[in-house]
Structures are given as C-alpha cells and as structure tokens.
Chains A and B, each alone.
Chain A
Amino acid sequence: MQEPSPVIYIVDDDEGVRNSVRFLLKSVGLTARTFASAREFLDSHQPGQPGCVVLDVRMPAMSGLELQEQLNLRGAVIPVIFITGHGDIPMAVEAMQHGAFDFLQKPFRDQDLIDRIQRALDRDTRNRSALAQHDRIRARFESLTPREREVLTLMTRGKPNKVMAAELGVSQRTVEIHRARVMEKTGASSLAQLVRMALDLESHDAAR
C-alpha cells in the first residue's frame, strides 16, 4: 500500500510567520498546513497521516510545550520541531526533555529548517514502519490457538520436544505438529527469530 505523502503542520499564532514558513516549504516542494493555535491543530490531527510538526513555543491559550504533552498523552508518534524566539533557550531545552525532535531559533536559515524537517520526516517514516511491523507480528501471534501459545512459551524457553510433551501431557509427535504450526503462523524462519519477535512484542507492549 502506498503511504500518503507527508504533511508539515505549522502551528504558530503569528500569521506572518506561519504563512512565510508555508511559502518557504512550498518552494522546495513540501506540503504544509497552517494552524493559528495548538487547539486548532489538535482538533484536526489525524494520527494516520505521516508528517511532522513545526511548532512555536510561545503561544497564548495552549503553549507549544502543552501541545507536545497532549500529543504524548495520545501516544502520537509524529516528530515535533520547536521554533523558539530570542531568549527562549531554557524552554527549548525543556521541550527536548519532553521528547521534542529538534529545535530552531528565530529567525533561522531556510536550509536549517528544511534539513531538520527532512530528518523529522525520515524519523516519522521509521517510526511508522516499526509500528506497522509490530502490528503485523502481533496479528500473527494472536492467530495462535491457546495450545499453540503454550508450545510457543515453552519453545522460547528452549525446552526440547521431549520435555514439552511431558509437560503438556501429549505425544512428541503432537508437539512437533504444534511447533510446525507456530513457525508457519508467525512466519519465523528459525527458533532464534521466533524468540526475537516474541521479545520485541513484549518490550513494545511494556512501553505502550
């Protein structure tokens, strides 16, 4: 499936600044949308749309930092580049600590902004493909029957077929059939890969 092309979301309460950034991005062939407030952006945010956010730190009502927090709470993966005014460096540092992707001080060189956006879009692509990969693996693991899951657990613990057969109270032949089904359903090419997939899934679930 073809991914939709990325959109750069510009959130800045200063109309002159946000329109100029959009114009600049358009001149290098990037698609940008502008928002006058953090709320306006959040209300129309579609998590499935790839892209990145270019965000002014200082805004009335909801600040850039609060918006970042809202995105974090929603589990959004979209990278955020903060634009700070003169003397806002401590705020930028705080933004970075809250998971901002990068920051830039006004006024900035066009190439600096474009480079950062490019890196943010690359990150976004990687984040999304990692997520998609996890979802695929999860779907495969979820297709296992309860008995196959028991076998999977014992396999990842490195138990030989003979021990498994004894623990499950079935014949070795039955264990072999279950093993084959587990490998087939998960798409793992080796026991090592199967273990890695199971661990990935586990650590990902723990992080969610």
Chain B
Amino acid sequence: MLIYDELDMKSDPQPEPGPALGVPAVLHGRLLHVSRMATIGEMAAGVAHELNQPLTAIANYAQACSRLLARPGADPAVLQQALTEITTQAARAADIIRRLRALASRQQSERAPADVNALVREMIDLVESDARLHGVNVSLELADGLPPVLVDAGQIQHVILNFVRNSLEALASRSGGGGRLAIRTWRPSAVDVEVAVIDNGPGLTSEAISRVFDPFFSTKESGTGMGLAISNTIARTHGGSVGYRPNQPSGACFYILLPAAA
C-alpha cells in the first residue's frame, strides 16, 4: 500500500496568503479550515486502512490462540509462534502511528520563490527512469520567461509526480507501446503559471472527470484514490488549483495552476 509514501511527502497546510479583496476575513478563515479538514480527513482514511491490516492479523492470531488453549494438549511451540507474530504486527501498527505523529509535528514547510521550469528539470531524471520502465517516451515543453511562483517546491513536485505516475499507469494499458508523455509549462494569463502533464493514453470517461479529484475515487482497482485528492489540497493551500481537460485528439491532460508571485 502506497498511502504512506504520499502522506510522508505532504506537510501541514500553509497559512493562506492574505484574504482576497472583498472576501470577509471570517469567511476566509472558514474556507481555510475546510481545506485543512479535507487534508485531515484524507489522512485519517489512509491511516485507518493501514492500521486495519496489523489489527486484523493480531485479532486472528489471538483468537486462534484462545481456540488452541481451549483444547487439552496445546503445543507451546505453536502458541509461541503466534505470539511472536502478534508482537511483529503490533510493532508494525506502532510504526504507522509513529509516522503519523512525525507528520503532525512537522515544521511548517518553507515557501520560496521558484521557477517552475527548474522544478520540472530537477525531477526529470526520476520521471524518465519511471517512464522507461513503462516504455513511455517523455518530452519537455517549457516556456521561456515565466514569472516565479511562491511555493513549497517539494509539494509542487509531488503534485507533478502524481500526475506523471497516473499518466504512466494509464499508458500502460495501451497495447503495442507508442505511449508519449509531455510536461508543458506556460502562462495561460498574466497572473497564472500552469504546469501540465499530457499523455496520449485513453483519457478519462465523463463520469471519471466529474469525480477524479474526490478522495477515494480511483479508476485503478488498486488505487487508494488519494493521490489527486492530496494534489488538489496542495494546490488550494498555494492559492492555486488542479484540473483536468481532455487532450486532443486523445489522451489526458492534468494541470496545476499557480498564482504568479507579485
């Protein structure tokens, strides 16, 4: 299960930049609270799922021991084996809780002016090695002269990587190879910078489009449905947004839109 990889890369939500003009401070505070709750809800769901596994194992071993002890002549070696397993699974549960604590107490992340092209270039090695494994060809289409953005670089890279992973998995279902993925940066308006991950995979169905950023929604049977929900939260705490549009003539385009630093 991959939930923890995602949680670990995520820091506490940042305080928003000041309220937008015309938005009452109280409302602004409430919106911020809602976005934090969304993050906590996502985390709680992930932790619940993870903790369920060792708890199930512990309950099974303990109940089996009770049954064995209820019969005369229980083999101490067999009981010992179950107790060792219980200890191992309890340690596993404790480890999950320790990671959760570490996450909760983590210092607020640093935001600094950054060049989105530099963020993309920094992670290209990672993206390319991942793409090679999937037999996918990667290209960069980075616009010149983009304004800087004020971001937590690690979080934004996490979002982009999330898009990339989704695309690679979508392209894996393409038979006969020929999968292509592009990371494109550009400036859709004077106040925004966009990083888009585009592929020539099957794209999303209209049902999936409406729900793709909801927690727990996944088109992959094995997906946790958390990746894009977390990306969404990260974008919102940066005063930006994430979105999807179909690529022409086919495929998917996921993007993150970030406000240009003043």
Contact = CB atoms under 8 A, between A and B. Distances in A.
Interface stretch (A15-23, A147-155, A193-201): A15-23
A175 to B, nearest CB: 61
Contact of B54 (A16, A28, A59, A63): A16
B137 interface: no
Nearest to A109: B63
B63 A16 contact: no
Nearest to B88: A16
B60 A21 contact: yes
Nearest to B81: A23
B25 interface: no
A74 interface: no
A20 B61 contact: yes
Contact of B222 (A26, A59, A87): A59
A86 B52 contact: yes
Interface in B199-222: 216, 221-222
A102 to B, nearest CB: 17
Contacts of A60: 222
Contact of B52 (A19, A59, A107): A107
A117 to B, nearest CB: 13
Contact of A24 (B60, B81, B221): B60
Nearest to B59: A107
Contacts of A44: none
Interface residues of A, number: 27
Contacts of B61: 20, 23-24
Query: Range of interface residues on chain B?
Result: 20 to 34
B55 A107 contact: yes
Contact of B49 (A21, A23, A86, A110): A86
Interface string B56-70: 111111011101100
Which secondary structure dominates where chain A touches chain B? loop
A90 to B, nearest CB: 10
B53 A58 contact: no
A61 interface: yes
B221 A65 contact: yes
B224 to A, nearest CB: 9
A109 B52 CA distance: 13
A23 B88 contact: no
Nearest to B2: A60
A20 B85 CA distance: 8
Interface in A107-129: 107-110
Nearest to B56: A107
B67 A28 contact: yes
Interface in A86-115: 86-87, 106-110
A14 interface: yes
A86 B52 CA distance: 8
B57 A19 contact: yes
Nearest to A113: B60
A107 B58 CA distance: 9
A61 B222 contact: yes
B53 A17 contact: yes
Contacts of B58: 20
Given A58-B222, A63-B222, A23 B64 contact: yes
Interface in A49-101: 58-63, 65-66, 85-87
B85 to A, nearest CB: 7
Given A61-B222, A108-B56, A87 B85 contact: no
A199 to B, nearest CB: 41
8 contacts: A20-B58, A20-B64, A20-B89, A23-B85, A58-B222, A85-B52, A86-B49, A106-B53
Interface of B: 45, 48-49, 52-61, 63-65, 67-68, 81-82, 85, 88-89, 92, 216, 221-222
Given A14-B57, A23-B82, A24-B63, 19 more contacts: A14-B53, A16-B89, A20-B56, A20-B60, A23-B60, A23-B64, A24-B64, A58-B221, A63-B222, A65-B221, A66-B221, A85-B52, A87-B45, A87-B48, A87-B216, A106-B52, A106-B56, A108-B59, A110-B64
Q: Lowest 8 CB-CB distances: which A-B pairs, in order?
A: A63-B221, A20-B60, A110-B63, A20-B57, A27-B64, A107-B56, A60-B222, A16-B57
